[in-house]
Structure 1
Amino acid sequence: MSPLLRRSARKNPADSTVTLIGKPDCHLCEAAEAVVAEVCGELGARWETKDITQDEELYRKYWEQIPVVLVDGAQHDFWRVDPQRLRKALGA
């Protein structure tokens, strides 16, 4: 595939949603939120936070992994968020 075709096949970061799953008073969650906010702000991607203490299903699924980052509903990272890896997942 030519580089031009590969570049046009990339997704637009603004079409993605990043979800940060964490809990209050969690230093790793706060650090992850800073990375998510910076990368999403830079690329124009939407992002949201979800509190596992308010959602039993999220609690059961992710308690031992928080913070967890989802990109368009698929698990992307947990514990620590690598900004370069997140940029790449968002198509940058």
Structure 2
Amino acid sequence: MPSWGFLGWIIFGGIAGWIASKIMKTDASMGIVMNIIVGIVGGLLGGWILTAFGVGGGGWIFSMLTAIGGAVLLLWIVGMVTGRRSA
């Protein structure tokens, strides 16, 4: 996130987490705080995975897609561990 600091992470994470929760159909069970947490952790997870494969760069759109992808993966993993299945 370019120069938005902590507030940018919260906004960016909230949007990414909300989109991921819509994709995984878990939005009804999540609040705004969980969306933010899932989005931020998902962004870190997605960034870590892409870095491990040597993929990087891009602007804010690439970063948003990375965060959404990581958040979807995170929600899927949590669903598998807790026994919830998505439709």
Same fold, judged at TM 0.5 (above):
no
| TM class, shorter-length | 0.3 to 0.5
TM-score by length of 1: 0.33
Greater helix fraction, Structure 1 or Structure 2: 2
> TM-score scaled by structure 2?
0.35
Q: Judging by fraction of residues, say which structure has more strand.
A: 1
